[in-house]
Structure 1
C-alpha cells in the first residue's frame, strides 16, 4: 500500500510502498477513504511531541472495512467506518464508569512503538495514534472504529473522528454548556469551529468567536457565532467582559498557547469554566491570577472532547443529516496523498480549517 512516512522530525515525508499485515484477533483492515490533516499531526511530525521513527501519521479518517480478524463483532467487510484515536478496552475503571476516552488499559491501545503491523524492506514502520491514516489501508483494533450508515458522505464523516468530536464533545461532555449561557471560543480552526457548532447544539444564548484571521471569523459567523473579535492587535478580554456585562459563562481555548489560556480564564464571569483544548508544548507551564479563583471560576482540560465515540459519532452524523450540525464549511481543500507535505506547510500559515486527503475510493 502507498503511505506517507516520517523518517526524521522536521523533514519532509516520503511516499513509500509499505507492507501491511493481515488482521489478527480483534483487528480490522480498512481501506482508507479520506484522512484529515490536523495540527496534532504537525506537532508530532516536527518533533514537538516525540514519536518513534519511522512512522505513518494521521488520526482522523473514514474508510470501508476490507477484512476482519478472529473475534471481531462490531464490523464486517463492506461496512463504512470512522476511526478514533481514543481506543477503549471496555473493562477498566474509566471505561465502566463512562469515561472511555480516558481508558487506562494497554490491551487495545498499543503505546507508540509497540505495534508491529507495518514494515518496509523488513524494517518496522511504526503506527501513530493506533491508526496511521495517511495510508491507503489501516490495520487497527476494532475498538478504534465505529460503524456508520452507508448513506453518509465519507469525507464529512472523517472530520467527525477528531476535530468535530473534540470540539462538540468539549461543549457537551466536559463543560456541559447550558441553554441560554454565554460562550467564548479562542481559535477558530477545526476544533474551535466545532466548539461553536457544539454551543449552537447546546442552545447557548451568545457565542463569541476570537481569532486573528477575518476569513475564519466569517466562517465562525456562518456556523453560528453571534459576535466576533479579531485579536491581531488587541487583548480581547476587557472588550468581552464589557460586551457580556461581567464575562462569559464558558470559554474554550483551542490553540495551545500560554497567552490564550490566560485570556480564556480572565474573560470568565463569576462561576465560569474555562476548558483548554489546545495541545501545549511539553514542559510548558501555565500561570493564572489566584484571586480570580475566589468566586468559583474553574479551569479544566478535556481529552478528545471527553468522548464516548461509539455513541457520539453516529449522533453527530445524524445531526449533520438533519441539518443541525454544519460540516461542509470545514473542508478547506482536498488533496492527494502525494501532496501531504504541501498540506503540512499550509498549516503554518493558519488559514486552512481542514485539508483532507482523498484516497479515491469512488464512494
Structure 2
C-alpha cells in the first residue's frame, strides 16, 4: 500500500531545519505485515531528542530512513501468528521490541533485548525484514522498529502495547517514550521512595515525566534544573519544590544547599556530558546518579574515583526506564486517568506532518517539552 512518511536521506543538515529540510515528506510503498507483525494506522507521533540525534548525526543510523518512534494508533490488520490484537484496537508503540527469549528478556529486562538492539541498529524490524520501499523499489530503513512519522506503519507485535480507548491519541503517544523513560527511571531504575530528595536535570518530555514520577512516588524534595525559564516555570506549576537555572555559576552549590549536602537521587536527561558531571556533584554521599541522556557516542564521563569509593556513590544508566512495557504502560496510564500523573501538561503543541522540520527546530532550541504530529484522518478520534 502507498503511505505518506517523513524520510531522512542525509544526516547533519544545518539549522534552521525549516530551511534545510532534512526530512522530506514522500510517498512510500508499505508491505503487508509478515508473521508476528501488525499494520497500524498512526494517529499521533511525538517529536523526541532521539529523533533529533539521528537527524543531526550524533547517533548515526542507516539511511534512507523513515523517522519517528513515539506514537499511538489503531490496528488495521495483523499478520500470521498474531492472535491477541484485532482490527480497531488502540496501541502504543515501544521503540525497543523484546524477543522474549534472549538472556535480558528471560531475566525480566526486555528493554535490553539483544535481538531488538541488533534490529534497531540495522534499521529493520525484529524479524530482520524491511517493509518500507521507495516507489522505485529501493528499501527504506525503519527507525527503532517504528517509523512513526507516517500515516501507517508495519511493526513487530513485540513493539506494541494494547491500551484502553479512552485516552486521546496525542496524549497516549507520550507513554511510548517520554513517560516510559522518565517515570521508569525514577520508579524502576532508581526506586525512589517516599520522603527522599530528587534533582532532575533537563526538562524535556522525559525530564518532566521523571519529575512527575518523583512526585507520584512521594519524594519530599523535587528540584528541577534547566536553562529555560519557561520550563522551570512549568516545573513549579507541576509541583517542583524548587528550581535552579543551569546557567547559574553556582547551580551545583544551590542544589547542595537546598538538600543539605546533596540529593538522594540526581537524574540527568539533557544528553550533555557536563550535565551528567553536575548531576554527580549534586548527589549526596551514598547517593545515586541516574542518566537516561544520550550524548554523542564519543562523550565520556570523568568521575573522581576516590569519591565513588569513599562516599559509596552509585552511577546508573537507564534505558527506556528499565521498563517492562506491558506492565508499566497500563500502570502509568491508570495514574494519568486518576490525575496523579498529569502528563498531558507536557504537550507543548500539535503540528501537522508537513510542519515537522520546523517542529524539530523548536525541539532543538529547547523551547518545547513535547510536540506531537497528529494525522488528519485521526483528528476526530480518541
Contact in 1 for aligned 2:73/2:92 (Cα 8 Å): yes
Partner of 1:60: 70
Q: How many Å apart are 1:290 and its aligned residue? A: 2.0
Equivalent residues in 2 for 1:183-332, closer than 5 Å: 183-293=198-308, 294-332=310-348
Q: How many Å apart are 1:237 and its aligned residue? A: 1.2
Matched length: 363
Could you report, residue by residue, the CA deviation over 1:118-177 in whole angstroms, capped at 9, with x for unpaired residues? 111211111110000010001000010000011121111100100111000000110111
2-structure distance, mates of 1:74, 1:10 = 41
Q: How many Å apart are 1:45 and its aligned residue? A: 1.1
- Kindly report structure 1 stretches of 4+ aligned residues shifted beyond 6 Å: none
Could you report, residue by residue, the CA deviation over 1:195-253 in whole angstroms, capped at 9, with x for unpaired residues? 10110111101000011111101111122211101122324111211121111000000
Partner of 1:344: 360
TM-score, with normalisation over the residues of structure 1? 0.97
Q: 1:200 to 1:106 in 2, by over 3 A?
A: closer
Which of 3, 6, 9 aligns to 2:5? It is 3
SS in 2 for 1:72: coil
Contact in 1 for aligned 2:52/2:360 (Cα 8 Å): yes
The gaps in structure 1 that reach 5 residues or longer are none
Could you report, residue by residue, the CA deviation over 1:48-91 in whole angstroms, capped at 9, with x for unpaired residues? 11111111110000000000001102311100000001210112
Q: 1:70 to 1:33 in 2, by over 3 A?
A: same
1-structure distance, mates of 2:88, 2:236 = 38
2:47 paired with 1:37: yes
Which of 139, 142, 147 aligns to 2:154? It is 139
The answer to which of 68-77 and 229-238 deviates more is: 229-238
1-structure distance, mates of 2:246, 2:276 = 14
TM-score, with normalisation over the residues of structure 2? 0.92
2-structure distance, mates of 1:244, 1:127 = 44
Q: 1:71 to 1:329 in 2, by over 3 A?
A: same
